[in-house]
Chains A and B, each alone.
Chain A
Amino acid sequence: MLPKILRYIFTCMNRNLLRGSLETIVIKLLSDNNEMYGYEITQKVKELTSDEFKITEGALYPTLHKLEGKGILTCQTRSIGNRFRKYYSLTEAGESELTIMLQDMEDYIKNMRLILNPQLS
Chain B
Amino acid sequence: MKEQLTEEEIAKLFKFVKSKYVHYIDVQYEIVDHLASAIEEKQTDSPSMSFDRALSEVYGKFPITGFAIMIAEKSSALKKFWVKKFLGFMLGYMKLPKIIIAGFLIYLLHLILYNGFLISPKQLYLTLVMLAILSAGYRYKYGFEFSKEFRHNYLVTGTYLSFYVGVWFFYFFAPLHFSGSQHLEEFGYLQSWILSVYLTSITLLLHAYTFVFPKMLKKELQEKYSHLNIKLA
- Could you tell me if B5 and A77 are in contact, using CB atoms closer than 8 angstroms? no
- Could you tell me if A86 and B77 are in contact, using CB atoms closer than 8 angstroms? no
- Could you tell me if A37 and B63 are in contact, using CB atoms closer than 8 angstroms? no
Q: Which among A6-14, A21-29, A62-70, A104-112 touches the partner chain?
A: A62-70
Interface positions of B from 56 to 96, Cβ below 8 Å from A: 61-63, 65, 69-70, 73-74, 76-81, 84
Interface residues on B, range: 20 to 34
Contacts of B6 in A (CB 8 A): 82
- Could you tell me if B74 and A79 are in contact, using CB atoms closer than 8 angstroms? no
CA distance A61 to B29 in the complex (A): 13
Contact of A83 among B10, B78, B81, B223 (CB under 8 A): B10
Contacts of B63 in A (CB 8 A): 56, 58
CA distance A71 to B88 in the complex (A): 12
**A interface residues, how many (CB within 8 angstroms):** 28
Known A-B contacts A69-B77, A71-B84, A77-B225; the reply to A56 vs B61 at CB < 8 A is: yes
- Could you tell me if B41 and A84 are in contact, using CB atoms closer than 8 angstroms? no
- Could you tell me if A82 and B10 are in contact, using CB atoms closer than 8 angstroms? yes
- Could you tell me if B61 and A57 are in contact, using CB atoms closer than 8 angstroms? yes
B32 at the interface (CB under 8 A from A): yes
B149 at the interface (CB under 8 A from A): no
* Interface majority SS (helix, strand, loop, mixed), chain A: mixed
- Could you tell me if B73 and A66 are in contact, using CB atoms closer than 8 angstroms? yes
B141 at the interface (CB under 8 A from A): no
CA distance A37 to B29 in the complex (A): 13
CA distance A115 to B6 in the complex (A): 54
Distance in Å from the Cβ of B85 to the closest Cβ of chain A?
9
- Could you tell me if A37 and B33 are in contact, using CB atoms closer than 8 angstroms? yes
Contacts of A39 in B (CB 8 A): 33-34, 37-38, 41
- Could you tell me if B80 and A69 are in contact, using CB atoms closer than 8 angstroms? yes
CA distance A40 to B2 in the complex (A): 14
- Could you tell me if A38 and B69 are in contact, using CB atoms closer than 8 angstroms? no
Contacts of A113 in B (CB 8 A): none
B36 at the interface (CB under 8 A from A): yes
CA distance A80 to B37 in the complex (A): 11
A101 at the interface (CB under 8 A from B): no
- Could you tell me if A69 and B34 are in contact, using CB atoms closer than 8 angstroms? no
Interface positions of B from 16 to 68, Cβ below 8 Å from A: 29-30, 32-34, 36-38, 41, 61-63, 65
CA distance A65 to B156 in the complex (A): 12
Distance in Å from the Cβ of B44 to the closest Cβ of chain A?
12
- Could you tell me if B32 and A83 are in contact, using CB atoms closer than 8 angstroms? yes
- Could you tell me if B33 and A83 are in contact, using CB atoms closer than 8 angstroms? yes
Contacts of A74 in B (CB 8 A): 224
Contacts of A69 in B (CB 8 A): 76-81, 84
- Taking beta carbons and an 8 Å cutoff, which residues of B are in contact with A? 4-7, 10, 29-30, 32-34, 36-38, 41, 61-63, 65, 69-70, 73-74, 76-81, 84, 223-227
Closest 6 A-B residue pairs measured CB to CB? A69-B77, A62-B73, A69-B80, A65-B77, A39-B37, A58-B63
- Taking beta carbons and an 8 Å cutoff, which residues of A are in contact with B? 37-40, 43, 56-58, 61-62, 65-66, 68-71, 74-77, 79-86
